[in-house]
Amino acid sequence: MTKTNPGRFFEDYQTGQVIRHAVPRTVSGGERALYHALYPARHALASSDEFARACGLKAAPLDDLIAFHIVFGKTVPDVSLNAVANLGYAEGRWLRPVWPGDTIRSESEVIGLKQNSNGKTGVVWVRTRGLNQSGESVMEYVRWVMVRKRDPEAPAPETVVPELAEVVDASGLVIPSELNFSAYDFELAGENHRWGDYEIGERIDHVDGVTIEEAEHMLATRLWQNTAKVHFDATNREDGKRLIYGGHVISMARALSFNGLANAQMVVALNAGAHANPCFAGDTVRAWSEVLDKAETAAPGVGAIRLRLVATKGDSGDFVLKGEDGKYAPEVLLDLDYWALMPV
Amino acid sequence: MTKTNPGRFFEDYQTGQVIRHAVPRTVSGGERALYHALYPARHALASSDEFARACGLKAAPLDDLIAFHIVFGKTVPDVSLNAVANLGYAEGRWLRPVWPGDTIRSESEVIGLKQNSNGKTGVVWVRTRGLNQSGESVMEYVRWVMVRKRDPEAPAPETVVPELAEVVDASGLVIPSELNFSAYDFELAGENHRWGDYEIGERIDHVDGVTIEEAEHMLATRLWQNTAKVHFDATNREDGKRLIYGGHVISMARALSFNGLANAQMVVALNAGAHANPCFAGDTVRAWSEVLDKAETAAPGVGAIRLRLVATKGDSGDFVLKGEDGKYAPEVLLDLDYWALMPV
Amino acid sequence: MTKTNPGRFFEDYQTGQVIRHAVPRTVSGGERALYHALYPARHALASSDEFARACGLKAAPLDDLIAFHIVFGKTVPDVSLNAVANLGYAEGRWLRPVWPGDTIRSESEVIGLKQNSNGKTGVVWVRTRGLNQSGESVMEYVRWVMVRKRDPEAPAPETVVPELAEVVDASGLVIPSELNFSAYDFELAGENHRWGDYEIGERIDHVDGVTIEEAEHMLATRLWQNTAKVHFDATNREDGKRLIYGGHVISMARALSFNGLANAQMVVALNAGAHANPCFAGDTVRAWSEVLDKAETAAPGVGAIRLRLVATKGDSGDFVLKGEDGKYAPEVLLDLDYWALMPV
């Protein structure tokens, strides 16, 4: 009997099942330093204790995407080892900052199952929660993946397709209770434009590009203890390429968006996301954003802004997204829809 | 007179000599984060303060191999700068966990000398100890290397070949006095198999592979302040290749062994080790293990398991080790014999 | 109207103007660990809390060059985004150690302006200060860069060329008030030669070489939140090469100089510096030093030593610097003039 983890197949999931994912993780300033080395991340709130204190927080939280990656990484051995495709995200919300010293673990509830008509695969929906050492939720999101069946003859489960919000409603955004942007220092943040300066429909080309190296995406992906072999083993694909973890592209694009959106300090919701095309070492990643919506919040001086963040590769021209056929252009790597907090 | 360190030659060693190695090092969560980025390390005890506390420890210790690498790295300028070959390890024992905040230094005692018959080189045996800021030993091991003579005419020293245990006896394993696996959480550890489930002679293919990049092995090796030029200078060898530090392969293989041995939480002894063939960037490292022995311990819920850990490169087939000639197969990088602690 | 930062052009600077640079940064043991992974840095004072305490300090400060890089990195979006060339450094002084937990920000005063005769560019001199969370200066330096004009027709500003000291006078070196090398442990420092053993005019070949990888210089440069695109975007130059941040070469050369100058523990002044030729991935960096001057200090057991640190690429022969034409040889990457503190 093998002792290695073969991963779950489609018939191993039941609706309502809760999976406690393995390997809790204590974080420190080390993860922050590495995040700054791996991405051109410069949002001041996650960089400076002093800046964060001037915004009412006790210290600088770790970048919100560090929390996402750690929570996500823990689910990989249980959810996506036999996944054919990562189909989507919905209803993602950050619920509480993660601080150096916190210990994070994850658990997922299976909330939907649908066998595909070919009988060989099925779609699994899970709602994943990240929890800190006090058992408090730090974030949650729904993700659905297409998973292989072990045995094509296994009976199909009852189809359950969860109803998911297309967008997290602004009223449901969770803002740290202490957060206060009344005395926000725009100069130290690196950007004069504030919430009122951004218009719905406005698009911003973030200008800069980063050419990706194998060593970097592997360091990043391992840092989140995501050990899916396709990211690390050059002998795994026929073309000898290592597929870059989609989350690496998310963090790279979000960091590049500093140039034009430096005041979009905290990511508070993940409405939707598509990894439109695979990314490989040697690709030069660029990013652009579109303002999709804006909302006021009850927190002093804090507005919410809903952004589309698009990552592209190569010299893809301005604001490329989809072709006339409605499909993503081949240069598009990522199409992410999220809410962030910005001083008004 | 040159002020750079030419390293010791064979005639510079005397039996009984104690060398205090330079550059003590204070460690933090930064070393842990980097270790997680460099290797697919997921053993829960070294990852989570909460998990470690549930096992009786005050917090998560740094990975046992971090301690080994730091202690080893400090010896390089004194022991292996003029080494022709790293011949073996024996009697390695971890004596005390290393915690973030500790300051580690190393010292080595020369315990054996034997000039080779060619008169140009000799074998030096040293027993190296790592010490923390309180002067407590954190680990010790014996290592022997073949070292060049400066002057082939120099007289041979008296031959002293130390008697070394082939295996650290299970009764000599040092277990942290607080360690208690009675309430061990197998789900959070990521593995249901426990000490009783492993049989002597059983072999486990750890399945995953990692293709090694130059940047990664150099980051890792420098992190331990091991600055032997052969690892960093591409002009040093005629083939333009940088030789990968053998310890990088040890850590990679140990981390890969999580998949099948996730509960082998602490490394407590290094019985023997051979760097069978050199490793270079571009190699895809895999690993397999064999259960060599098992022993009970006095610590509650804690068993000891003796493992052979073999690292290979390429697609080397199942459980490759030695050819009919008794020599290591060319795909074998590492053959390591160690004791680990596992919940019973 | 674009919301991305186009950088300042020559006509955007006025003498006397003070620019508060964005994105303060809290540092931790994570930055130290990464610095050790990126460079072969082994100076004991910045490596070990215990060693630093034995020298009178409260703990090991972060490497002095970490402070420099962080302070420098923050100036890039304001000072060098449209720079054609980094022309020089002067009057650099380290004023106070940076400790894990400190939050660093930068500000620059424009102290000189001179339009070039071509009317298309001009030289800008800035005095940059790094400040900690208490508003104390941690370092300062003057730097001048050649910057493009946005509009060649814009009128030239009044020419102001600051008078700068060619060398920081030894009497102006700032030494931490607690520093005491009376009980200095030469063995743990890794070097027996002390201040009295170095002679003015003496040159030291640091022997070792490091071949640079793309992933490493990008990790290093991002770590300092220096996001100048030329370092990251392989499509930015026609030859597809990424230019390596000059500070990466500074840190590499300084770390290599450990071998021969291990006791030059603290960098306290930057007298001058030239990035003589560009450095690219694949270059093998070596270093040599020349003792330019020596001075006594009032601190117990502490001497000052003025060093030229030269970084070269390839196998450039001994002590290469300038050709007969007085220009830097093509193999020379860096010519740095600094003061360091050494036990007497």
Average pLDDT for chain A: 96
Model confidence band, residue A273 (pLDDT cutoffs 50, 70, 90): very high
Q: Identify the pLDDT of residue C130.
A: 98
Q: Set out the domains of chain A in order of their start, with CATH numbers.
A: 193-344 (3.10.129.10)
Contact B30, C33 (CB under 8 A): yes
- Which site among A191, A202, A208, A244 would you substitute to test the C interface, given the most C Cβ atoms closer than 10 Å to its Cβ? A208
Axis-axis angle for helices B214-223, B246-256 (nearest 10): 100
- Which site among C21, C23, C78 would you substitute to test the A interface, given the most A Cβ atoms closer than 10 Å to its Cβ? C23
User: How many contacts (CB atoms, under 8 Å) link B and C?
Assistant: 143
Interface contact flag, A47 C29, Cβ < 8 Å: no
Residue of B nearest to C259 (CA): B4
CA–CA min distance C85, chain A (Å): 20
CA–CA min distance C60, chain B (Å): 8
For residue A208, give the nearest of C29, C31, C229 by CB distance.
C229
Rounded distance between C-alpha atoms, residue B185 and residue A151, angstroms: 31
Interface contact flag, A105 B28, Cβ < 8 Å: no
Contact list in B for residue A133 (CB cut-off 8 A) is 49-50
Residue numbers of A between 57 and 76 with CB closer than 8 Å to C: 59-60
In sign, the C-alpha dihedral spanning C127, C131, C136, C141 is negative
Model confidence band, residue C85 (pLDDT cutoffs 50, 70, 90): confident
Model confidence band, residue B6 (pLDDT cutoffs 50, 70, 90): confident
Contact B93, B269 (CB under 8 A): yes
On whether any CB of chain C is under 8 Å from the CB of A214, the answer is yes
- Tens digit of pLDDT for each residue in B14-38? 999 999 999 999 999 999 999 999 9
Phi-psi region of B190 (alpha: psi -120 to 50; beta: other; left: phi over 0): left
Side chain identity at residue A33, one-letter code: A
Q: Identify the pLDDT of residue C81.
A: 86
Residue of C nearest to B23 (CA): C44
Q: How far apart are the first and last CA of chain C?
A: 60
CA–CA min distance C76, chain A (Å): 12
Contact list in A for residue C218 (CB cut-off 8 A) is 210, 213, 216
B227 against C166, higher pLDDT = C166
- Tens digit of pLDDT for each residue in B288-326? 999 999 999 999 999 999 999 999 998 767 899 999 999
Model confidence band, residue B229 (pLDDT cutoffs 50, 70, 90): confident
Q: Identify the pLDDT of residue A258.
A: 97
On whether any CB of chain B is under 8 Å from the CB of A225, the answer is yes
Average pLDDT, stretch A58-81? 96
- Tens digit of pLDDT for each residue in A314-326? 876 789 999 999 9
- Tens digit of pLDDT for each residue in B85-133? 889 999 999 999 999 999 999 999 999 999 999 999 999 999 999 999 9
Q: Identify the pLDDT of residue A234.
A: 93
For residue B50, give the nearest of A103, A214, A222 by CB distance.
A103
- Closest listed residue to residue A129, CA positions, set A148, A142, A120: A142
On whether any CB of chain C is under 8 Å from the CB of A211, the answer is yes
For residue C213, give the nearest of B31, B218, B236 by CB distance.
B218
Average pLDDT for chain C: 96
Contact A111, A125 (CB under 8 A): yes
C-alpha pair distances (Å), A293 with each of A142, A168, A199, A256, B57: 21, 11, 8, 21, 49
Interface contact flag, B24 C47, Cβ < 8 Å: yes
Q: Which two tokens stand for residue B99?
A: 């915690």
Rounded distance between C-alpha atoms, residue B332 and residue B323, angstroms: 11
Q: Identify the pLDDT of residue A239.
A: 92
DSSP-assigned letter for residue C300: T
C81 against A304, higher pLDDT = A304
For residue A284, give the nearest of C27, C227, C234 by CB distance.
C234
Model confidence band, residue B80 (pLDDT cutoffs 50, 70, 90): confident
DSSP-assigned letter for residue C52: H
- Which site among A211, A244, A280 would you substitute to test the C interface, given the most C Cβ atoms closer than 10 Å to its Cβ? A211
For residue C30, give the nearest of B24, B33, B235 by CB distance.
B33
On whether any CB of chain C is under 8 Å from the CB of B296, the answer is no
Rounded distance between C-alpha atoms, residue A177 and residue A298, angstroms: 10
Judge whether residue C317 has pLDDT over 80.
Answer: no
Query: What is the SS3 string spanning chain A?
Result: CCCCCCCCCHHHCCCCCEEECCCCEECCHHHHHHHHHHCCCCCHHHCCHHHHHHCCCCCCCCCHHHHHHHHHHHHHHHHHCCEEEEEEEEEEEECCCCCCCCEEEEEEEEEEEEECCCCCEEEEEEEEEEECCCCCEEEEEEEEEEEECCCCCCCCCCCECCCCCCCCCHHHCCCCCCCCCCCCCHHHHCCCCCHHHCCCCCEEECCCCEECCHHHHHHHHHHCCCCCHHHCCCCCCCCCCCCCCHHHHHHHHHHHCHHHHCCCCEEEEEEEEEECCCCCCCCEEEEEEEEEEEEECCCCCEEEEEEEEEEEECCCCCCCCECCCCCECCCEEEEEEEEEEEEC
Rounded distance between C-alpha atoms, residue B89 and residue C10, angstroms: 63
Judge whether residue B218 has pLDDT over 70.
Answer: yes
- Tens digit of pLDDT for each residue in B148-184? 999 999 999 999 999 999 999 999 999 999 999 999 9
Q: Identify the pLDDT of residue A83.
A: 85
Is ipTM over 0.85?
yes
CA torsion A275-A277-A280-A284 (nearest 10°) is -90
CA–CA min distance C84, chain A (Å): 18
Q: Which two tokens stand for residue A243?
A: 């597929």
Strands C203-205 and C284-296 come out as: antiparallel
Q: Identify the pLDDT of residue C1.
A: 55
For residue B298, give every residue at least 6 positions away whose Cβ sits within 8 Å of its Cβ, in sequence order, or none.
B175
CA–CA min distance B329, chain C (Å): 31
Q: Is C144 helix (H, G, I), strand (E, B) or coil?
A: strand
Residue of A nearest to C25 (CA): A48
Rounded distance between C-alpha atoms, residue A44 and residue A51, angstroms: 7
Rounded distance between C-alpha atoms, residue A321 and residue A308, angstroms: 11
Q: Which two tokens stand for residue B171?
A: 């009764």
Q: Which two tokens stand for residue A39?
A: 């991405």
Q: Identify the pLDDT of residue A41.
A: 96
Model confidence band, residue B81 (pLDDT cutoffs 50, 70, 90): confident
Judge whether residue B1 has pLDDT over 60.
Answer: no
Cβ–Cβ contacts within 10 Å for residue B305, how many? 22
Interface contact flag, B211 A235, Cβ < 8 Å: yes
Rounded distance between C-alpha atoms, residue C201 and residue C291, angstroms: 5
Judge whether residue A256 has pLDDT over 90.
Answer: yes
Contact A270, A89 (CB under 8 A): yes
Residue numbers of C between 244 and 273 with CB closer than 8 Å to B: 259-262
Average pLDDT for chain B: 96
On whether any CB of chain C is under 8 Å from the CB of B234, the answer is yes
Contact list in C for residue A207 (CB cut-off 8 A) is 4, 229
Q: Identify the pLDDT of residue A2.
A: 80
Contact B144, B128 (CB under 8 A): no
Average pLDDT, stretch C220-243? 93
C-alpha pair distances (Å), A172 with each of A57, A272, A318: 21, 15, 33
Judge whether residue A1 has pLDDT over 70.
Answer: no
Q: Which two tokens stand for residue A241?
A: 């390429």
DSSP-assigned letter for residue B319: T
Residue B92 main-chain phi, psi, to 5 deg = -80, 130
Helices marked H in C134-287: 186-189, 214-223, 246-256, 258-261
CA–CA min distance C227, chain A (Å): 6
